[in-house]
Amino acid sequence: MLEGIIKPIISWLLNLLTLGYRDRRVADKELFCKLYSELPLDSDQVFLLKEHDFNQAFSFEYLRPLNYVVADWINPVNRFHNCLVERRKKKFVEKLKIFLDELSQHTAMEESGLVSIGLNDQGAREKVIIKIGKRLNKLSSSAYSDYERFIVSYKKEINS
């Protein structure tokens, strides 16, 4: 009987002394799992960021999860307790937003249903379009690098 009363009190005291460290760590793990399930490293969307040449057309469907990440993960409810992990997540989302904003300014839907910067349009604009493609490639690679850093910092800080 006494043991049943003492265990919750000890647990409460430990939680108080550690400032809820264990609970925050569990919450961060759950939050990471949620983000990672929306954007796994082996997904087409991450491949688009990492490998795709934006001088080539691609499916619009790849952009939906990326837009969702930007819209949802800026929300303060989806904030990590670990400062380093939160900073890396924030940086990734900011870079992803910059990339998607730039992408939306320079792309259009083709007749085939694919999204393109219009490299197939021949004429004087060809050099400008190639330059835009290079800029998009650089922005997407930067966003991917920040996503990778976010995952590495999570594994190092929380999942160790």
Structural domain boundaries in the chain: 2-157
DSSP 5-65: HHHHHHHHHHHHHTTTHHHHHHHHHHHHHHHHHHS-TTSHHHHHHHH--TTS-EEGGGHHH
Task: Provide the pLDDT for residue 24.
Answer: 81
Rounded-to-integer distance, Cα 94 and Cα 73, Å? 10
Task: Provide the pLDDT for residue 127.
Answer: 80
User: If the chain, 160 residues long, is cut into consecutive pieces of 10 residues, what is the mean pLDDT of each piece?
Assistant: 60 49 81 92 94 92 93 90 92 97 90 78 70 94 96 84
Residue 85 near residue 154 (C-beta atoms within 8 A):
yes
Task: Provide the pLDDT for residue 15.
Answer: 47
Task: Provide the pLDDT for residue 147.
Answer: 96
Q: Which two tokens stand for residue 148?
A: 């990778």
